[in-house]
Amino acid sequence: MNLDNKKILIVGGTGSWGQALTRQILDQYNPKSINILSRCEQKQVDMERQFNNKLLKFHIGDIRDKDRLLEVMGDIDIVFHLAALKHVPICETHINETVKTNILGTQNLIDVAKYYNIKKFILISTDKAVDPINTYGLSKALAERIVINAGYICIRAGNVLGTSGSVVPLFYKLAKGGHPITVTDPYMTRFSMYLNDAINLIFKALQSAQSGEVYVMKMDSYLLKDLAELYSEKYKVPINIIGTRAGEKKHEILVSKYEFGRAEDDETFFKIKSMTSKNQSTSTQSFQSNTTNIIPKNELKQLLEEGGWL
């Protein structure tokens, strides 16, 4: 789908994903407008100053507020839904708030999108939604079902290196400040992807995804032990093992064994067909962070240096 002359809404658009998506849309297309909906006034001011582009229109609002969504979404062609409460410990201690934003907020967006007959709606989801064991993952799994049931599409991503949801900024801040690095389990593995690759997956899905499909990018992973040691060695700080937090997985899954039977395997991504598709067989295979390619420590160091995180 071409984004030229389209009115685009990016929900939660002031974050890392939203800003990268905005930048690439402006670089690759000629949209009629890019509308940014978010709650934080200061982030909107900062983004407006940074981009300095008249195509960008900013709207203060919350996806919990359906009346506000009705005001903002009236003439929109395409919605990218990036808004969520996403930090696992926060979601565990604020379950009601997580439900209000991640589940009910998503339903509000879908209701308004259907009311205005918006044809394209893309939810950005997470590996935490697969075989979920924590509140965040459960809420995103339900958000996926809401979007898929409405006939729209989802993109399921792993950890994006260096974004606010990644452990990298935390380790960097601790180590640079001379503080010990706190590690829950050194043998945990986590998926890793670059933000530009994630945005390219969004565009890929926008072009070819069918109603009710989930797109999953194939990606490498890293060992938490290797990441912690790189910061420890660079900044001469100790590593403290603090134990696994509530709701934390040792390894992440992007395609479960229950989904693998209806997943089409492309060179760079999996395309999971709707649950109404004919193939519903359970597979012994899955796509998870401890069985994919684990980035060697020396290559991880190079990636962090290139990203300015080491």
Q: What is the pLDDT of residue 140?
A: 97
231 lies in some domain = no
Residue 52 vs residues 7, 12, 35, 45, 170: alpha-carbon distances, Å: 18, 19, 14, 10, 30
In the DSSP assignment, the letter for residue 214 is E
What domain range is 150 assigned to?
Answer: 7-158+193-218+254-285
306 lies in some domain = no
Is residue 128 part of the annotated active site? The answer reads yes
199 lies in some domain = yes
39 lies in some domain = yes
29 lies in some domain = yes
CA distance 270 to 27: 27
Q: Which of 128, 140, 218, 273 is flagged as catalytic?
A: 128
**Residues 198 and 157 sit within 8 Å (Cβ to Cβ):** yes
Indicate which CATH number applies to the domain containing 81. Answer: 3.40.50.720
**Residues 119 and 107 sit within 8 Å (Cβ to Cβ):** no
200 lies in some domain = yes
Position 230, amino acid: L
120 lies in some domain = yes
CA distance 272 to 262: 6
What is the mean pLDDT of each successive set of 10 residues along the chain, which is 310 residues long? 93 94 96 97 97 98 98 97 92 96 98 97 94 95 96 89 78 94 92 84 83 89 95 95 83 92 87 72 82 94 89
Q: How many domains does the chain have?
A: 1
